[in-house]
Amino acid sequence: MALKVLVSAGEVSGDQHLSRVVQALKAQLPDVVIRGMAGRESQLAGATLDVDCYRAGAAMGFLELFRSAAKIVSSFRLMARSIREWRPDVLVLVDYPDFNLRLAKVAHSLGIPVVYFIPPKVWAWRRGRIRKIARYVDRIAAIFPFEPEFYSHYGYEQVVYVGHPLSEVIGQVTPSDARANSVLLLPGSRKSEVERILVPILGAFARVRGKHPNLRATVLLAPNMDSTWAKDVACKHVDPSVLAATDWVRGEPLDEMRKARVGVLKSGTCNLEGAIAGLPFVCVYSGGIVARMITFLLVSLRECSPVNIIRSGTVRELMRVRLPEAEIAEEVERILEDGRERSEMLENLVTVRDALCGEQALGTVSQRVARLIIETSARS
């Protein structure tokens, strides 16, 4: 009988990582049946979508969740029903912790094993989740080398370090010295992020361009982002002359990062892509005041960018309720031209890039995750 795998990836980045695991599963078990919540990348790789995560209302932040609550609840009910009625051999979760840990509970109650790829960052905040993970998750496919030891400290031993997903593309990307006179702007993949981040970073670009009139900006839109909507957000607050010097693209992040001179990137996985591409950048994020207060109280890390978690102090982080255009512009100026600041950042980004490779077993990250999924399903 063919192996039945139910997958749950609630965001764009999770879909991209999952798609490679789907490919690896198909290569190892050609008759495997994979379905669940994911996006177009996983669908192209061979998964059947019960829920399209690009339309399912993925949200981040404490207040922003309410905007998409109905879609999220509906998606959860559909996925829970798939678990109960389809009875998969294994449930594979990718990131998206609030949603996926609840889904793990449903699967656990029915005796269905659970594999969590890219688990919650409990080493950063909300360590109380470790109890839920220990209760409902059978195996963790960890992406940071320190995670097995961290979980072991709390008595959970079912953690396998598989390597970071981005390590699969490092060999395909060579940082370029021939860069355009441009600033790459990544405002995020969620509407709530774009609403808070896009205008301030365009404003910062306008300030820098005042001293460098030939400088251009490139706004990299996420695959799920409506470009017309994003441009309308900018048009309401940004001078037309600035928009005339701005290009809007929906390309591969690593390709665009290799072209630009400097970047302003939303905090997240794209920061690691910046390190791989050798792009000096400023890390930004903006959340509501309530979210900011709660994060301040709960997050145990001094630095939030994954680049800085690997190599402390590599990039400047600006995390504010209202992003300061002048301060962002000042940081961009610091690393735009050749000099000590830019050279030091480039050296540190190489350190991060090398750390992502790490010492890994034979095969790619996706192949190791696929083997772990197959092994875990066989235990049930």
Q: Write the pLDDT tens digit of every residue in 323-335.
A: 999 999 999 999 9
User: Residue 61's pLDDT is what?
Assistant: 43
Identify the band that residue 304 occupies on the pLDDT scale cut at 50, 70 and 90.
confident
Class of residue 375 by CB neighbours under 10 A (exposed 0-12, middle 13-18, buried 19+): middle
pLDDT, mean of residues 364-374:
94
Q: What is the mean pLDDT of the chain?
A: 89
Q: Is the pLDDT confidence value at 15 over 60?
A: yes
User: Residue 275's pLDDT is what?
Assistant: 94
Structure confidence by residue, pLDDT tens digits, 150-204? 999 999 999 999 988 888 877 777 777 778 999 999 999 888 889 999 999 999 9
- What letter does residue 9 receive in the DSSP assignment? E
In this predicted structure, which of 9-23, 294-308, 356-370 has the lowest mean pLDDT? Answer: 294-308
Domains of the chain: 4-163+359-379 (3.40.50.2000), 182-357 (3.40.50.2000)
Q: What share of residues in the chain are helix, strand, coil (percent, to 5)?
A: 50, 15, 35
Strand segments (E) across 281-374: 281-286, 317-320
| Residue 377 to residue 305: CA distance in whole angstroms | 34
User: Residue 62's pLDDT is what?
Assistant: 40
Q: How many helices (H) and strands (E) does the chain have?
A: 17, 13
Residue the block writes with tokens 């400023």: 282
Identify the band that residue 60 occupies on the pLDDT scale cut at 50, 70 and 90.
very low
Structure confidence by residue, pLDDT tens digits, 263-289? 999 998 899 999 999 999 999 988 655
Find the DSSP H helices in 87-186. Answer: 97-109, 129-136, 147-153, 167-170
